[in-house]
Amino acid sequence: MIAEVKIMNKFLEQALLYDFYGELLTEHQKDVYEQVVLEDYSLSEIAQMKGISRQGVHDLVKRCQKILEGYEAKLHLVEKFLSVKEKISLIDKTLAEWEEDGKDPEEIVKKVRRIADNIIEEL
Amino acid sequence: MIAEVKIMNKFLEQALLYDFYGELLTEHQKDVYEQVVLEDYSLSEIAQMKGISRQGVHDLVKRCQKILEGYEAKLHLVEKFLSVKEKISLIDKTLAEWEEDGKDPEEIVKKVRRIADNIIEEL
């Protein structure tokens, strides 16, 4: 897990992991995980709704987190996403700078092209 | 699997799928898959090297392909990669057009920014 993810708050990290790998969980896992982690229901509420024990809900959520983190450790999709997002922001910033101070457009073109090529290498 | 992948040759498709999801195979699967599909050893050669039957190698490769395609069906990483790559080429092309005919740079900035924003939505 890279630096950006480390300083992210826990909720955002979990939401991103779920966003990228949620489809690899079973329907039941997705259902419970979404309600506990993303919709912030309490373990007891979900336990009652699903007719399982509070401990069962807790274990299921922990297991899902382990699965999602396991995929990230292998595929690094969240890491790559954050890095690409950063580079796109850099393109935006480079264009904004040009708009503000009208710098040499050739310089801008070179810079944007370099960032764009970096994005491809990143993927 | 999207249009671009469909018209790709089979080898490139297999290589891309392996590139994105290979880490999710076991060491043994990776080993055999790489030698048969990417390095083009024959089934008989690998069978002899690994001390398994030719049919066993064939089944293992087919099973790997199913696994890799199953991940693509859920995560669409190859599809997204090809789409992002296309958009990056579009940025390059837009910049090249500006270099050639010196069009209004504001127009170029707007266009590049729009493509960059599309890339983020894509991910």
Contact A38, A18 (CB under 8 A): yes
Q: How far apart are CA A96 and CA B32, in angstroms?
A: 50
Indicate if the pLDDT at residue A1 is higher than 60.
no
B83 touches chain A (CB under 8 A): no
Q: What is the mean pLDDT of residues A84-98?
A: 88
Lowest-pLDDT range, A80-84, A94-98, B73-77?
A: A94-98
Does the structure show a pLDDT above 50 at A111?
yes
Q: Cβ contact (<8 Å) for B109 and A95?
A: yes
| Nearest of A16, A118, A6, A34 to residue A72 by alpha carbon | A16
- The enclosing H or E element of B121 equals helix B105-122
pLDDT (0 to 100) of residue B96: 86
Nearest-Cα distance to chain A for B54, in Å, is: 30
Contact B95 A109 (CB under 8 A): yes
| Confidence at residue B1, expressed as pLDDT on a 0 to 100 scale | 44
- Is the pLDDT at A8 greater than 80, yes or no? no
Residue B120: per-residue pLDDT: 82
The helix (run of H) or strand (run of E) holding residue B26 is none
Mean pLDDT, range B101-108, rounded to an integer: 77
Contact of A105 with chain B, judged by CB distance below 8 Å, is answered with: yes
Of residues A21, A71, A85, nearest to B120 (C-beta): A85
- pLDDT score, position B6: 52
Nearest residue on chain B to A98, alpha-carbon basis: B109
Rounded to a whole number of angstroms, the distance from the CA of B42 to the nearest CA of chain A is 29
Q: What digits encode the pLDDT tens for the residues B21-67?
A: 999 999 999 999 999 998 989 999 999 999 999 999 999 999 999 99
Confidence category of residue B5, pLDDT binned at 50, 70, 90: very low
Nearest residue of A to residue B104, measured between CA atoms: A105
- On whether the CB atoms of residues A98 and B105 are closer than 8 A, the answer is yes
Q: Which of A36-40, B1-5, B97-101 tops mean pLDDT?
A: A36-40
Q: Which of B23, B81, B120 lies closest to A75 in CB terms?
A: B23
User: Mean pLDDT across chain A, nearest whole number?
Assistant: 88
Indicate whether A100 pLDDT > 90.
no
Share of chain A above pLDDT 90, in %: 52
- Chain B positions touching A75 (Cβ under 8 A) are 20-21, 23-24, 77
User: Looking at residues B6-29, what average pLDDT do you find?
Assistant: 87
- Is there a contact between B88 and A116 if contact means CB atoms under 8 Å apart? yes
- H-run or E-run covering B103: none
